[in-house]
Amino acid sequence: MAVCGHCGQALSEAHPRCEQMLAMEPPRFCTHCGRRMKVQVTPREWAATCVEHGTVAG
Amino acid sequence: MTAAPTTPDLTEPAVLSRARTQVLENGEGLSYEDLVEVLRLPDEHVPALLGLAHDVRMRHCGPEVEVEGIISLKTGGCPEDCHFCSQSGQFTSPVRSVWLDIPQLVQAAKETAETGATEFCIVAAVRGPDERLMSQVRDGVKAIHDAVDINVACSLGMLTQEQVDELAAIGVHRYNHNLEAARSYFPSVVTTHSYEERWETCQMVRDAGMELCCGGLVGMGETLEQRAELASQLAELDPHEVPLNFLNPRPGTPFGDLSTMDAQDALRTIAAFRLAMPRTILRYAGGRELTLGDLGTREGLLGGVNAIIVGNYLTTLGRDPDEDLALLSELKMPIRELAKTL
C-alpha cells in the first residue's frame, strides 16, 4: 500500500495539492504504512522517523 | 545651496502625505486611524506605499538586514489552543511531539551562524517552561555560547518573574513572545490564556533588560481594523523586534480551512507595520513563501522589512538560505554584523 506522506491517505490516485505542500514541508506520514512520523525540522534539514520503517531526511 | 522646492504630488492619497511628514521626516508612527486608511489603499497605490515604507526603514534603521535562524527544541503536544498552530495537542494535527537533543541544537546553531546570521532562536511549544524545559534551555544556551559566535534568543511561552530573571542571567539576549492578534480578536484565536497574560510576560522581559521580540500573525480572519489595531498595540508595547507572520493554514487546526492571505493585502500590512513602528526591527517570519511566493521576499525587503528568518521554520520548510542571501547581496543590503547587535 502506498500512502501520501502529507495527508496519510492511500495513493490510489494522484494528490496534486499534497505534492505541492510536500515542497514546503516534510512528510508527516510514513509512505509505507501510513503511521504518523516523528519529524524534526532544523534550519537546513529535516528528518522524519517511522518506528517501523526508519528515517527519511531532506 | 538651497534645495529646489518640491512639487506636491496631487494624486498621492492624503494618508501617504501625512505619513511622509510624520513618519519619514519626524520618526513618529502613524495613528490607528491612519493605519486603517493605509490598509484600505487601493492596489494602484501599493507601490507608492511600499516605496514610502522602504524610505522610512532606510532613514530610521539603515540598509542592514538582521538574519536569524529558528529551531524547535520541543515540538508538538502543547496544551494551549492557538487556532493557527499545528503544535497544539488539542487538535487532530499530524505533528507529533518530539524533543531535540543538545548536540543537534548546537549543530543547528553552527549551521545558522555559517549563513552569516547573528540570531538563533530556541523555541518550545509550551504554555510556559517547566523545570525539564528550563534545564534543557540552560544546558543548550551554555553549549551554544561555548561553541558558536551567535546571539541566543528564546521563545518558551509565558514566564514567571523567576524564569525571566534566570534567562537574562544565562545570557539570553532577546525573548520572543507574540501578541499573536489584536486584543479585540484574541479571544477568537486563543481561549486557553488571555491577551493580558501575554502582555504581562512581554513587560517582564523588557523590565529584566532582555530585548523584546513581539509580533503576531495576519490572515487569520481578522478585519482590516483589527490588523491596524494589532500594529497600534505593538507600537504601544514598543518591542525591539516585530516578527510578522502570515497564516499558513495547517491541516487539523481550527484555521486549517482558511484561505491564504491575498498578496497585496500582505504587502499593505508590511508597509503599515513599518509606518506604525519606524525604528523597530521588522522581521519577515512564517508564511511568506506561501503568501507572497519567491518575489514576495524582494517586495517585502523593498517595502519596510529589515530582518528575515533564513532556512526552515519550526515545522515547515523555508527558502534555501543561499537564495535569500544572494537576494540581500543583489539589493545591496548588508547582513547586520554580530558586534553591532551586542
Give yes or no for B321 touching A (CB within 8 A). Answer: yes
User: CA of A23 to nearest chain B CA: how many angstroms apart?
Assistant: 8
Between B5 and B41, the more confident residue is: B41
Q: Name the CATH architecture for the domain at B57-334.
A: Alpha-Beta Barrel (3.20)
Helix (H) or strand (E) run with residue B69 in it: strand B66-75
Number of domains in chain A: 1
Q: Rounded to 10 degrees, what is the CA torsion of B213, B219, B223, B226?
A: 0
Q: Quick check: B98 and A44 CB within 8 A?
A: no
Q: Structural domain of residue A40, as residue ranges?
A: 16-57
Q: Could you give the CA distance from residue A37 to residue A35 in angstroms, rounded to a whole number?
A: 6
The separation between CA B115 and the C-alpha centre of its own chain, rounded to angstroms, equals: 19
Which residue is listed with cell 540598509?
B63
Q: Quick check: A43 and B96 CB within 8 A?
A: no
Of B96, B315, B316, the CB nearest to A36: B96
Residue A45 lies in a domain: yes
Residue A33 lies in a domain: yes
Domain boundaries, chain B: 57-334
* Residue B155 phi, psi (nearest 5): -145, 100
Q: Quick check: B96 and A7 CB within 8 A?
A: no
Can you tell me whether residue A20 is helix, strand or coil? Answer: helix
Q: How confident is the model at residue B293 (pLDDT cuts 50, 70, 90)?
A: confident
Residue A21 lies in a domain: yes
Residues of chain B with pLDDT > 70: what percent?
A: 96
Q: Quick check: A40 and B100 CB within 8 A?
A: yes
Q: Could you give the CA distance from residue B340 to residue B342 in angstroms, rounded to a whole number?
A: 6
Residue A40 lies in a domain: yes
* Residue B242 phi, psi (nearest 5): -125, 105
Residue A5 lies in a domain: no
Is residue B27 within 8 A of residue B60, CB to CB? The reply is yes
Can you tell me whether residue B337 is helix, strand or coil? Answer: coil
DSSP state of B193: S
Q: Which chain B residues are within 8 Å of A37, Cβ to Cβ?
A: 96
Can you tell me whether residue B325 is helix, strand or coil? Answer: helix
Residue A4 lies in a domain: no
Q: Which chain B residues are within 8 Å of A42, Cβ to Cβ?
A: 71, 100, 104, 107-108, 111, 311-312
Give residue-wise pLDDT tens across range B112-157: 999 999 999 999 999 999 999 999 999 999 999 999 999 999 999 9
Give residue-wise pLDDT tens across range A12-25: 899 999 999 999 99
Give yes or no for B293 touching A (CB within 8 A). Answer: no
Q: Letter for the amino acid at B209?
A: G
- Please calculate the CA angle B198-B280-B190 and round it to the nearest 5 degrees: 25
Of B70, B71, B315, the CB nearest to A25: B315
Give residue-wise pLDDT tens across range A19-57: 999 999 999 999 999 999 999 999 999 999 999 999 999
Is residue A17 within 8 A of residue B284, CB to CB? The reply is no
- How would you label B223-238 residue by residue, b for 16+ Cβ within 10 Å and e otherwise? ebbbbbbbbbbbbebe
Q: Quick check: A24 and B314 CB within 8 A?
A: no
Q: Which chain A residues are within 8 Å of B95, Cβ to Cβ?
A: 28, 39
Q: How far is CA B122 from each of CA A43, B5, B50, B167, B172, rounded to the nearest angstrom?
A: 11, 51, 32, 12, 10
